[in-house]
Amino acid sequence: MSAVEYRIEGPCAVLVMQNPPVNGLAQAVRTGVMEALDRALADAEIKAVVITGSGGHFSGGADIREFNTPKMEAAPSLHDLIAAIERSAKPVVAAIEGTAMGGGLELALACHYRVATGKSVIALPEVKLGLLPGGGGTQRLPRVVGLELALNMIVSGTPVPAAKLAQTELFDAVVESGAVAAASQLIADRLAAGEVPVLVRDRKLVHADAEAFLDIARLNVRAMAGAYPAPMACLECVAASTSKPFDEGLRFECEQFTLLMNGEESKALRHAFFSERAASKIPDVPSDTPLRRIDKLGVIGAGTMGGGISMNFLNAGIPVTLVEQKQDALDRGVATMRGNYERSLKKGKLSQDKLDTRMALLTPSLSMEALADCDLIIEAVFEEIGVKQQVFEVLDAIAKPGAILASNTSTLDVDRIAGFTRRPADVLGMHFFSPANVMKLLEVVRGKATAKDALATVMALGKKIGKTAVVSGVCDGFIGNRMLEPYVREALFLVEEGASPQQVDKAMERFGMAMGPFRVGDLAGNDIGWSIRKRRYVERPEMFYPKLADRLCELGRFGQKVGKGWYRYEPGRRDAIPDAEVTALIDSHRRELGITPRALSDEEIVSRCVLALVNEGARLLEEGIAARASDLDVVYLSGYGFPALRGGPMHYADSLGLYNVARSMRGYAASAHGDRAFWTPAPLIEKLAADGGTFN
Ligand code: NAD
């Protein structure tokens, strides 16, 4: 299939971009459009050109498969195409159906006319990757939709249906269907009328009080953008469209685009975007592996996790049988789910119809036999190996052949659980995060014996229910919690040395974490970490733990649920208020250890906490628990509140330079209080640092 089909329809040449799935402007497409345009211009019989796309889409913009390859920059560029269209002696019409986004919309904006179907989706979404529309979008869009609308669209990147823009000058016609036929008709009419089209670049931008409007917009965008530079750069480019001649505005847009493109934030956001796509690919599992059918789901345990897990599938239209031991627990679980849906209903996020449809897909039951016809059964019962054993032995007896058996365990050995059945190839872990109906991350735990098709099926299902699924091998804590443990431990060492919990939290929050480690502890419940540590003291006595958190738990300070933890909480409120009792506890703990507190800089706090994640992450890679460093980044970005503008811990380490990372770690090994052995850089870091390499 050629990248652009050339067809003659009466006096029009129709150019059809063909690059599934959304006609991204790959080099072949750009070349094809240019050649087809030249052909039309050279043909005296042709009076006008219609550009459109195949497969129901105009164009989704840059072809992401060419990102970071020389093809991305190769001529003809989008700018070359735009210039050629604007110089064309014959009028060019964009016939838009489906998607017209980014560079696709910018191409359309260069055309002499635009016709769209009402349902087409229009956007300049570059800001979401920390960029701005660099193909003239910031200069042309305000000239056709007005300053305010253009600013909203460009700063937010939000898609807008063409029907909503029908009253603007963006479109010369918005039709129900048949954009190409409508475009041909429009051009015939305009040619017959002898109309001379005015290019968007030559139109005047009229706004009664652009400066005053922009001043207010600056305040709002600055507050909304925080540390992200792209939204303000978008705003200043749109502002330039009001104050500068067109070509000067274009030059300004180009400069700003280059600055963003080379900036750390956009690199991090682009890394995050590509990492998420990469996470769905499993190196030794072919992408065309036949998947098992999942038409019916079973969930065991209607507690905190089981209810939330079930909701994901009900939301996706998949029937769920939910099994509990006792009627009251089952009723409670179902009531909680209904309550969640009713809250969405009250907020206007869900219709009564949808609520009823979803609840109708749920079959609550007290009998494990009810799971006999399920294609996938997820166990979310108590975190005790004996209970898991009992459940999996029963499942082995009753589940149909080929059913996938999954455990939501956070800490137990999935291989051991698989060993409770005679079908370990069908067993894997599906580690959801709480609240399971909200959190994006899903760790899919691959056991030693897990079949490739079972793994591929669950990864695909994860996507279907809107999760970001990442494969983890079997280890204590899987990827996320295993990296979290040294991070939290380091935060505790920092407090023993002289920082306060609030200083650590503030430093990490300024770095961009959604919440500092002590606030997270209070939210999740400090008793959870306590029970894990108690297990560690027995199983791995060589591990070195700060005892401060145990002292806190001995006082019953389990966190928000009891109104006190590292902070205190007023009834019904979540504001973390520093508490003198905690300060006194920390002081006496330091005295017991003979530590004279010292002042710690925020920089040291951030470095030690983040590098603790990085060192453990490197070990996970060495052990083959994670397939690639970017998977670790995805886990932290989607499940642990790591700031997107840092691209994940491993990307952040790359940006620091692994030589510098290893050097800092050696420094902590020599001087920091705490587990000095931990700070020996993982061999992978030493190797990459020596070779000048990176994780990603
Ligand atoms: P929970 O105590 O809230 O719920 C467990 C439910 O399982 C209870 O309602 C109990 O009645 C039911 N149950 C126990 N044995 C059963 C059996 N044999 N048959 C049917 N039902 C049975 O626990 P939870 O927080 O939902 O945790 C469940 C699992 O999910 C655990 O393995 C836990 O480690 C894991 N997990 C929990 C979280 C979290 O934040 N709570 C996060 C990730 C994973």
Residues 455 and 495 in one domain: no
- Tens digits of residue pLDDT in 64-86: 888 878 888 899 999 999 999 99
381 in contact with ligand 1, CB cutoff 6 A: yes
303 CA → ligand 1 middle, Å: 5
Chosen domain end from 403, 438, 472: 472
DSSP H/E element including 441: strand 441-446
CATH number where 670 lies: 1.10.1040.50
Q: Which residue has the higher pLDDT, 37 or 543?
A: 37
- Would you say residue 672 has pLDDT above 80? no
Residues 544 and 579 in one domain: yes
364 in contact with ligand 1, CB cutoff 6 A: no
472 phi and psi angles, rounded to 5 deg: -125, 145
Distance CA 653, CA 483 (A): 14
**Those residues with Cβ within 8 angstroms of residue 554's Cβ, 6 or more apart along the chain or in another chain:** none
In this prediction, residue 208 has a pLDDT band, given cuts at 50, 70 and 90, of confident
Structure tokens at 271: 């890394």
175 in contact with ligand 1, CB cutoff 6 A: no
Residues 447 and 353 in one domain: yes
**Those residues with Cβ within 8 angstroms of residue 685's Cβ, 6 or more apart along the chain or in another chain:** 614, 615, 618, 658, 661, 662, 665
The number of beta carbons lying within 10 Å of the beta carbon of residue 326 is 10
Closest CA to 136 of 201, 67, 204, 53: 201
Distance CA 187, CA 193 (A): 10
CATH number where 121 lies: 3.90.226.10
- Between helix 683-691 and helix 658-671 the angle, nearest 10°, is 140
Distance CA 620, CA 478 (A): 9
In this prediction, residue 635 has a pLDDT band, given cuts at 50, 70 and 90, of very high
pTM for the complete prediction?
Answer: 0.92
**Those residues with Cβ within 8 angstroms of residue 234's Cβ, 6 or more apart along the chain or in another chain:** 127, 132, 133, 138, 151, 154, 155
Residue nearest to atom 4 of ligand 1 (CA): 303
- Between helix 352-360 and helix 304-315 the angle, nearest 10°, is 110
Residues 112 and 139 in one domain: yes
Distance CA 161, CA 672 (A): 57
State how many domains the chain has: 3
In this prediction, residue 545 has a pLDDT band, given cuts at 50, 70 and 90, of confident
- Would you say residue 146 has pLDDT above 80? yes
181 occurs within a structural domain: yes
Residues 319 and 432 in one domain: yes
406 in contact with ligand 1, CB cutoff 6 A: no
292 occurs within a structural domain: no
Sign of the torsion formed by the C-alpha atoms of 556, 560, 566 and 569: negative
Ligand 1 atom closest to the Cα of residue 306 is 26
Closest CA to 139 of 125, 157, 124: 124
Quick check: is 324 catalytic? no
**What pLDDT shows up at residue 638?**
97
Helices (H), 498-567: 501-511, 517-524, 526-539, 548-554
**What pLDDT shows up at residue 676?**
87
Residues 412 and 521 in one domain: no
In this prediction, residue 396 has a pLDDT band, given cuts at 50, 70 and 90, of very high
CATH number where 445 lies: 3.40.50.720
Closest CA to 124 of 164, 161, 157: 157
**What pLDDT shows up at residue 103?**
97
Share of the chain above pLDDT 90, in %: 93
268 occurs within a structural domain: no
For a pocket test of ligand 1, which of 299, 327, 381 has the largest count of ligand atoms closer than 8 A to its C-beta?
381
- Would you say residue 1 has pLDDT above 80? no
Average pLDDT over residues 682-688: 97
145 occurs within a structural domain: yes
Contact 128, 269 (CB under 8 A): yes
**Those residues with Cβ within 8 angstroms of residue 374's Cβ, 6 or more apart along the chain or in another chain:** 296, 297, 298, 321, 399, 400, 403
302 in contact with ligand 1, CB cutoff 6 A: yes
3-state helix, strand, coil in the chain (%, to 5): 55, 10, 35
75 occurs within a structural domain: yes
**What pLDDT shows up at residue 597?**
96
Residues 77 and 180 in one domain: yes
304 CA → ligand 1 middle, Å: 7
Chosen domain end from 418, 448, 472: 472
Question: 35 lies in which domain range?
Answer: 4-259
Output the average pLDDT for the chain.
96
604 occurs within a structural domain: yes
Residues 457 and 515 in one domain: no
Write out the DSSP string of 84-123: HHHH-SS-EEEEE-SEEETHHHHHHHHSSEEEEETT-EEE
Q: What is the ipTM of this complex?
A: 0.99
- Would you say residue 13 has pLDDT above 80? yes
Residues 361 and 393 in one domain: yes
Structure tokens at 474: 């079997």
- Tens digits of residue pLDDT in 22-42: 999 999 999 999 999 999 999
483 occurs within a structural domain: no
- Tens digits of residue pLDDT in 465-511: 999 999 999 999 999 999 999 999 999 999 999 999 999 999 999 99
Contact 94, 58 (CB under 8 A): yes
Structure tokens at 158: 């939000």
Average pLDDT over residues 604-617: 98
**What pLDDT shows up at residue 243?**
94
481 occurs within a structural domain: no
Residues 462 and 518 in one domain: no
In this prediction, residue 539 has a pLDDT band, given cuts at 50, 70 and 90, of confident
Average pLDDT over residues 249-256: 98
Residues 511 and 648 in one domain: yes
Residues 493 and 459 in one domain: no
Structure tokens at 669: 């090994």
- Tens digits of residue pLDDT in 92-134: 999 999 999 999 999 999 999 999 999 999 999 999 999 999 9
Distance CA 21, CA 60 (A): 9
Chosen domain end from 209, 237, 259: 259
Using alpha carbons, list the distances in angstroms from residue 203 to 82, 145, 170, 172, 271.
Answer: 16, 11, 12, 14, 38
- Tens digits of residue pLDDT in 211-244: 999 999 999 999 999 889 999 999 999 999 999 9
